[in-house]
Structure 1
Amino acid sequence: MLPDKLREIIDWLSDGARSAPTPSRMMAECCERLVAAGLPLYRVGIFIRTLHPEIFGRNFIWRPETGVVLSSVDFDIQEAPEFLSSPLALVFREGVEVRSRLHEPSTTPFPFFDDMRAEGVTDYIAIPLTFVDNMLHASSWTTKQPGGFTEEQLAALKTVLPTLARLIEVIGIRRVTVTLLDTYVGNRAGGRILGGQIRRGHTETMRAAIWLSDLRGFTALSDRLPPESVVEILNRYFDCQVPAILKHGGEVLKFMGDGLLAVFPIAEDDADRSTVCGHALEATREASAAVEALRWSDAAGAEERFRFGLALHVGKVLYGNIGGGNRLDFTCIGPAVNLAARLEKIAGKLHRTVVASATFADATTTDWTDLGEFPIAGFAKAERVYGLADEGATPES
């Protein structure tokens, strides 16, 4: 090993690996630098647990010929036989190093080692990466060097690891922050908060197609079923809408009990209004079909079917931080949001699933049925309301 090169790597990591703009590039460049310093690496794995509602962790696997391959695993991995019979399971469970000289016949019989031997690997070591909160993560290092790693090479590797772990932790904290913001307030709001828009009253005006939906009969449902069942139903009900909204360029801003508020941003000059409203309408049809197909059965076998109401409108909304003291909410308000809420109530009275304002209906090429003009509480003038031409009134539940 070259001591000067090793010192350069540690300094580079300590300075934030600024020449590598992404985690994958940082990992690749770090391995390349270690090889240049004299460490004969063949395959390197970094395994990081994460704080995400669906993802248990991420794997960064580096090889000289392929660079870094990134993958993620869900929570089922904890019970998967291939993981439980792997050396990494031991690292995560006990926080210990696992070293195996694969060219020696007495190697610990992990099935994974057979694959490594087939690739010509002679030595394997898995080393815990411990973050400041004592959460365990893991790294694995292999070589094809005859005889395996030397003690000098392993000592050099372990000299670099603490600094590498700190940088991975910093990158991980930022990723977790972004993930949590995206999960709880949405991508657009999360980006603004992370960008520094954190003060009360820090708002901006945005033109958008507004989506406001509500589950019909939710109060009676909540009274009739156990709370655990209601939560499960709500999650499945929102699963009918959220993927469609995200797929077509919308952003979910808020869940309000059984209500959902989303926006589809429109350019300030209104040039893409027709396109955006068309995307919102595509999401509407997909969500409506999904809710229509949703079924839920209780312990006695009684089947529940569901209906929802959805109002679509276009207008300017005030988008930003609203709240009291140090408890803020990043959301949108304004007359356009209020009108959408009133329209959703009208949808219920007319036994319609989808209704739209004249502003939204005029922006699309879809056939609409004029449902009439209705006075809107809190608004000076009545609003003409439209329903989808291919949708009739639904019977009351």
Structure 2
Amino acid sequence: MAVNEEFLKDRVDTLFGTAFNEREGRVVPTTPDVALKDGAVKINATFLYTDLAGSAKLSSVCPWSTTAKIIRAFLDCSTRLIVKHGGEIRSFDGDRVMGVFIGDAKNSNAAICGREIHWVVRKIISPKARSKFDSVKNNDIQIRNCSGIDTGEVRAVRSGIRDNNDLIWIGKAASFAAKLSDVRDTGYHTYVSSRVYNKLNANAKQDADGDSAWSSTTFSFAGTTETVYKSNHWKKP
């Protein structure tokens, strides 16, 4: 079948005319759980995106193999910490990974996870990279990350074509968390929405000395100003 103008017009008309068959989800769905034709799964979840800052500079001044090793180390450690705290991995995008948390402690689990990822980047990945790779040390590359976290009701729907498709997440929580992971504010590497912060337990709100690990700031998103909370307090796993 020719993929031409008329065919693509028909496909858009078909997709625009689809009525979704929505159901409530009690677990984080995987791609096969959602029908490609018309499936939609509604869940209340907390999303954590964590992104490696400055990977473009890494690519420009380091051998490709060095860049690959650093990104792999970041994604490996981040993924293991997300799973440790009860999250489900549902997306990789370059040097970024998305974790989805559900359950009663989903916000605290995600916030603690974000601070532990920060610790791993600063205390393990960064110093080891500077020690092992001359291209990192000689170019004074600072390996850092940022994690963004938000919570709310989202729908998982499946997009693409047969044998070439994946889940997309429709709802503010996913998109806002992704935007927060793009923040580059020196010293601060974990950001949560006010919706997440207001549901944190004491352990997730405090640093090792029992003081507050978070400070409030504002963030513009989709034409509105949001109160968010940022932390420069890492947490040892």
Task: Give yes or no for TM over 0.5.
Answer: yes
Greater gyration radius: 1
- Number of the residue aligned with 1:352: 188
Provide the rounded CA distance (Å) in 1 between the counterparts of 2:136 and 2:107.
40
Within the alignment, does 1:298 sit opposite 2:143 as a pair?
no
- Number of the residue aligned with 1:221: 58
Within the alignment, does 1:387 sit opposite 2:223 as a pair?
no
- 259 and 301 in structure 1: CA distance in 2 versus 1, 3 angstrom threshold: closer
Partner SS, residue 302 of structure 1:
helix
Q: CA RMSD of the aligned region, Å?
A: 2.5
TM normalised by structure 2 equals 0.71
Unaligned runs of 5+ in 2: 1-26, 206-211
Once the two structures are TM-superposed, the CA of residue 357 in structure 1 deviates from its matched residue by 0.6
CA contact (8 A) 1:200 1:323 kept: no
Once the two structures are TM-superposed, the CA of residue 332 in structure 1 deviates from its matched residue by 2.3
- Number of the residue aligned with 1:242: 79
Provide the rounded CA distance (Å) in 1 between the counterparts of 2:93 and 2:52.
11
Once the two structures are TM-superposed, the CA of residue 368 in structure 1 deviates from its matched residue by 5.0
Provide the rounded CA distance (Å) in 2 between the counterparts of 1:262 and 1:286.
14
How far does the alpha carbon of each residue in 1:77-120 deviate from its partner, in whole angstroms, 9 at most, with x for none? xxxxxxxxxxxxxxxxxxxxxxxxxxxxxxxxxxxxxxxxxxxx
2:46 aligned partner, one-letter code: A
Within the alignment, does 1:277 sit opposite 2:107 as a pair?
yes
Within the alignment, does 1:264 sit opposite 2:94 as a pair?
no
CA contact (8 A) 1:200 1:328 kept: no
Once the two structures are TM-superposed, the CA of residue 225 in structure 1 deviates from its matched residue by 1.6
Provide the rounded CA distance (Å) in 2 between the counterparts of 1:245 and 1:205.
21
Provide the rounded CA distance (Å) in 2 between the counterparts of 1:278 and 1:371.
17
Identify the match of residue 373 of structure 1 among 213, 218, 221.
218
Partner SS, residue 165 of structure 2:
strand
Provide the rounded CA distance (Å) in 1 between the counterparts of 2:186 and 2:192.
13
Provide the rounded CA distance (Å) in 1 between the counterparts of 2:149 and 2:143.
20
Equivalent pairs counted in the alignment come to 192
TM normalised by structure 1 equals 0.44
Once the two structures are TM-superposed, the CA of residue 328 in structure 1 deviates from its matched residue by 0.9
CA contact (8 A) 2:111 2:192 kept: no
Partner SS, residue 174 of structure 2:
helix
Matches within 5 A, 1:186-197: 188-190=28-30, 193=32, 197=34
- Greater than 4 Å deviation, 4+ residue runs: 187-190
- Number of the residue aligned with 1:107: none
CA contact (8 A) 1:254 1:261 kept: yes
Name the % identity: 22
Q: Higher relative contact order by CA 8 Å / sep ≥ 6: 1 or 2?
A: 2
Provide the rounded CA distance (Å) in 2 between the counterparts of 1:279 and 1:371.
20
CA contact (8 A) 1:221 1:230 kept: yes
1:278 aligned partner, one-letter code: S
